[in-house]
């Protein structure tokens, strides 16, 4: 199996993530329409939040432990224990996944009632088998990532999303005649089937590529062998804190989701209006998850490489990888935030009922805070500061929950309280993480400096996007005179112009480097304009 560089691995994984999220966005307006609007979509959203929480408890820690252990053992040429750690982790995940699937199925009504959306229990039941399937997939993805090969993960994610997109729409439409709860359950069928097919693909890929190419100078007797007990301890030592860390973050989201309905009602809103506003939060977070998923790909890619550098105590390479991670984080997060803000209304006109666009317009900057937390967390986990990260995440979540609880019940603020609460919570975690990184790692971290050039290019991009959209939309209204089509065409032209201008100005001010473009696969580089390729050095 060929090992990939951090940059190339990220490029492959992020491209698959982008394609998957594009599919997700394309099918979402159809799903909302099939389900009958934001109110019914709130049922699906509540069920999916429950599923994500159980998924995180099951799959957040051990796959990261696999990736970290495999990369560390390979770095010191201990191939035997790399394989052993994977097999032991896989067995643990299958057992945990089976138990959690059963719990989710039989506790579906309890979870749905706690979320204040009791109609979602059928969808939760339909999602329960996906937990076991994703446990199997997560084990193999962690193994491949630990070996520095992101291609199997990328292909499996794309395959999973294609099946999810097609089958979710089909079954939602077929079951709608049986009621909104049944339709929402049908909308989850694609998630379960996609997870099952993805698991089969990963198992087959592993069987073809499971053997290591051991160097001739390597002798097994020269390495330190670990017992099963020692490896199990390492898995638990990495997996449990990471599960707690990410689990607490998602628990915070789950509590927020449950609190949102009750606090909107406490603020004097009628139930149907509160449920509709709750649905707009789901739409907002779905859009936010597109760039966040790309940042997650970066976090997944850098963790094993940072773990390997830390294992061999290569401080120079470690510093380079950390600064690279922050630089790419800002390159993605800042233009995404600016783009979502200036184009919030056109985007909602294409995808959702437009009443939710103000939430995106005002709350797009949360993207930057969320992205920074993800990267910081991955870096600190990679260097072994797992317990600290967990504690800091919990502190940030508590700040977020308290803020949201107070603000959402204020009638003049209502759902916009989640923006303020998110910023306060994530800012707290970012500050604590940054202080720990400076104090414990003792390396030069240029975190905020990496944000300057992307911010300059993004501001220029935002202006160009607004100008192009307004011009094209005005022309289309004279020619076509169909509001939806006018808006869609103008949005496509504006997005294309924005991307070109952003990368052009980045190249001019040296915010993007030749090494960044060289890391992309040749098939992707063909789509990069020659004018940009010529400027980049």
Q: What is the pLDDT along the chain (537 residues), one digit of tens a residue?
A: 555 455 555 566 666 666 766 777 677 778 877 887 767 777 887 888 888 888 888 887 777 778 778 877 777 777 777 888 888 888 888 998 999 999 999 988 888 887 777 888 888 999 999 999 998 988 888 888 777 777 788 888 888 888 888 888 888 888 888 888 888 888 888 888 998 999 999 888 888 876 655 555 554 445 567 777 888 888 887 777 777 766 766 676 667 666 777 777 777 777 777 767 777 777 777 777 777 777 766 665 655 566 556 656 667 777 777 777 788 788 888 998 998 888 888 888 877 766 778 878 888 888 899 888 888 887 887 777 777 888 888 888 889 888 888 888 887 777 788 888 889 988 999 999 888 888 877 767 777 788 888 899 999 999 999 999 899 888 887 777 676 778 888 888 998 898 888 888 888 887 776 666 655 555 555 556 666 666 665
Closest CA to 42 of 266, 284, 346: 284
The residue to which tokens 């909302």 are assigned: 32
Give the C-alpha distances (Å, rounded to integers) separating 274 from 47, 125, 349, 409: 17, 25, 21, 11
d(CA 266, CA 336): 34
Query: Residue 98's pLDDT is what?
Result: 92
φ and ψ at residue 361, rounded to 5 degrees: -60, -45
Query: Residue 10's pLDDT is what?
Result: 55
Rg over alpha carbons for the chain, rounded to the nearest Å, is: 23
Within 10 angstroms of residue 194's Cβ, the number of other Cβ atoms is 26
Longest dimension (CA), the chain: 78
Instruction: Please enumerate in sequence order all residues whose Cβ is within 8 A of that of 96, keeping only pairs 6 or more positions apart, or say none.
Output: 58, 62, 135
d(CA 471, CA 227): 68
Query: Residue 432's pLDDT is what?
Result: 92
d(CA 52, CA 122): 16
The residue to which tokens 């919570």 are assigned: 425
Q: Write out the two tokens for 196.
A: 């099952």
d(CA 382, CA 242): 11
Half-sphere exposure (CA, 13 Å, Cβ side) for 460?
A: 15
SS in 3 state form for 123-160? HHHHHHHHHHHHHHHHHHHHHHHHCCCCHHHHHHHHHH
d(CA 19, CA 464): 25
The answer to whether residues 160 and 19 touch, using CB atoms and an 8 Å cutoff, is no
Instruction: Give the CA angle between residues 137, 322, 65 to the nearest 5°.
Output: 30
The answer to whether residues 175 and 186 touch, using CB atoms and an 8 Å cutoff, is yes
In 379-504, which ranges are E strands?
A: none
Q: Write out the two tokens for 37.
A: 């609007």
For the chain, the straight-line distance linking the first and the last C-alpha, in angstroms and rounded, comes to: 31
Closest CA to 281 of 112, 37, 45, 47: 45
Instruction: Give the CA angle between residues 126, 129, 133 to the nearest 5°.
Output: 140
Give the C-alpha distances (Å, rounded to integers) separating 270 from 113, 119, 364, 529: 18, 18, 27, 52
d(CA 5, CA 21): 24
Half-sphere exposure (CA, 13 Å, Cβ side) for 454?
A: 22
d(CA 328, CA 305): 15
Own/partner contacts of 154-158, CB < 8 Å, gap of 24 or more, are 154/12, 154/13, 154/15, 154/16, 154/17, 155/16, 155/201, 156/198, 156/201, 156/202, 157/16, 157/17, 157/20, 157/198, 158/16, 158/19, 158/20
d(CA 501, CA 496): 9
Q: Write out the two tokens for 338.
A: 């600016």
The answer to whether residues 6 and 154 touch, using CB atoms and an 8 Å cutoff, is no
Closest CA to 311 of 404, 214, 224: 224
Own/partner contacts of 291-294, CB < 8 Å, gap of 24 or more, are 291/332, 291/333, 291/336, 291/367, 291/371, 292/367, 292/370, 292/371, 292/374, 293/17, 293/20, 293/21, 294/14, 294/17, 294/18, 294/21, 294/332
Q: Write out the two tokens for 202.
A: 């990963």
Query: Residue 510's pLDDT is what?
Result: 78
The four Cα atoms 274, 280, 286, 292 give a dihedral, to 10 degrees, of: -90
Half-sphere exposure (CA, 13 Å, Cβ side) for 365?
A: 8
Within 10 angstroms of residue 138's Cβ, the number of other Cβ atoms is 27
Closest CA to 258 of 411, 36, 45, 426: 45
d(CA 500, CA 452): 19
The four Cα atoms 149, 155, 158, 164 give a dihedral, to 10 degrees, of: -120
């Amino acid at each position: 199996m060929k090992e990939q560089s951090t940059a190339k691995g990220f490029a492959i994984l992020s491209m698959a993530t982008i394609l998957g999220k594009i599919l997700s966005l394309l099918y979402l307006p159809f799903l909302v329409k099939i389900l009958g609007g934001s109110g019914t979509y709130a049922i699906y959203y509540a069920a999916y939040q429950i599923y994500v929480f159980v998924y995180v408890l099951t799959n957040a820690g051990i796959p990261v432990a696999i990736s970290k252990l495999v990369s560390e053992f390979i770095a010191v040429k201990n191939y035997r224990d790399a394989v052993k750690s994977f097999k032991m982790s896989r067995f643990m995940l299958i057992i945990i996944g089976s138990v959690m699937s059963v719990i989710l199925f039989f506790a579906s009504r309890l979870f749905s009632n706690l979320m204040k959306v009791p109609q979602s229990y059928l969808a939760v039941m339909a999602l329960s088998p996906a937990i076991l399937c994703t446990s199997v997939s997560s084990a193999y993805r962690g193994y491949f990532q630990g070996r520095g090969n992101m291609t199997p993960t990328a292909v499996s994610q794309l395959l999973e999303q294609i099946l999810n997109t097609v089958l979710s729409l089909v079954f939602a439409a077929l079951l709608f005649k049986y009621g909104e709860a049944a339709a929402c359950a049908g909308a989850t069928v694609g998630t379960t089937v996609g997870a099952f097919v993805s698991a089969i693909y990963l198992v087959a890929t592993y069987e073809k590529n499971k053997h290591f190419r051991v160097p001739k100078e390597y002798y097994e007797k020269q390495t330190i062998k670990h017992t099963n007990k020692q490896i199990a301890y390492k898995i638990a030592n990495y997996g449990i804190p990471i599960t707690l860390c990410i689990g607490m973050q998602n628990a915070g989201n789950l509590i927020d989701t449950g609190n949102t309905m009750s606090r909107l009602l406490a603020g004097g809103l009628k139930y149907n209006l509160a449920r509709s506003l709750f649905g707009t939060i789901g739409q907002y977070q779905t859009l936010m998850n597109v760039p966040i998923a790309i940042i997650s790909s970066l976090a997944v890619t850098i963790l094993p490489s940072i773990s390997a550098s830390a294992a061999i105590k290569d401080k120079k390479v470690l510093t380079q990888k950390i600064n690279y991670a922050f630089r790419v984080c800002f390159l993605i997060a800042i233009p995404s935030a600016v783009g979502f803000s200036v184009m919030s209304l056109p985007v909602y006109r294409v995808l959702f009922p437009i009443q939710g666009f103000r939430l995106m317009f005002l709350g797009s900057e949360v993207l930057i805070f969320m992205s920074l937390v993800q990267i910081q967390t991955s870096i600190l986990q990679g260097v072994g500061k797992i317990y600290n990260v967990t504690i800091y995440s919990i502190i940030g979540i508590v700040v977020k929950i308290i803020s949201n609880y107070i603000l959402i019940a204020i009638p003049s603020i209502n759902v916009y309280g989640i923006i303020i609460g998110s910023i306060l919570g994530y800012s707290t975690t970012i500050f604590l993480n940054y202080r720990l990184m400076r104090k414990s790692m003792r390396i030069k971290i240029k975190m905020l400096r990496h944000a300057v050039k992307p911010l300059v290019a993004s501001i220029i991009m935002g202006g160009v996007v607004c100008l192009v959209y307004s011009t094209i939309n005005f022309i289309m209204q004279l020619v076509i005179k169909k509001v939806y089509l006018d808006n869609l065409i103008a949005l496509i032209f504006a997005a294309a112009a924005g991307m070109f201008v952003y990368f052009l100005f980045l190249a001019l001010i040296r915010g993007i480097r030749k090494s960044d473009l060289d890391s992309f696969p040749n098939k992707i580089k063909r789509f990069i304009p020659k004018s940009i390729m010529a400027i980049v050095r």
